[in-house]
Amino acid sequence: MSFVVPEGLPRRQAQVLNCLIDEGRAMTFKELMEALRGVGLTSDGQVFKLLKALKERGLVQRIETLLAYVACRPCPPGEAAGYAICDDCRTIWRFTLPQEAVTRVADSRGFTTGGLTLELHGSCVDCGGGLPEGLGQGSELEFVAGFDARPVAGFEGDE
């Protein structure tokens, strides 16, 4: 991971964020609970509240299709974060788009968007056989988390 815990973050929130940063991959709630036992966090409810607070700060994102959490930088205002997930090596990258570009069609029909989940599944450039010639300059994909350290409980849908 390429960022550190912001200064002034409450101690318990910092412990949860540090755990995700140190692991460097998406973690299910169960895996987080196991990892946090070492710092004395053993209550599901408490960790859930800490994750919620970190999500509100934009420092943690739940990857819905993996039922897992990753540490990330806050998304710029007006931007929507999307996640590209390689189903072969399970690496995750984040990209951002103007939120309006994603919600425009629904908004124009009177829909009020309250939340947005943008997760792409496929093959990364390494697993998919490389980039076509001439592509790959100025990529805006930002590495978020490797997901390949070991089989991840919850990947198939349990939590």
Footprint on this chain of Zn ion (rule: CB under 5 A)? 86, 88-89, 124, 127
Residue 124 CB: number of other CB atoms within 10 A?
A: 17
CB of 56 to Zn ion, least distance (A): 31
Do 53 and 13 meet the contact criterion of CB atoms below 8 Å apart? yes
Strands 60-63, 68-71: pairing is antiparallel
Separation between Cα atoms, residue 85 and residue 93, nearest integer Å: 7
CB of 72 to Zn ion, least distance (A): 19
CB nearer to Zn ion: give 51 or 84.
Answer: 84
CB of 90 to Zn ion, least distance (A): 7
CB nearer to Zn ion: give 146 or 154.
Answer: 146
CB nearer to Zn ion: give 113 or 139.
Answer: 139
At 105, which amino acid appears? V
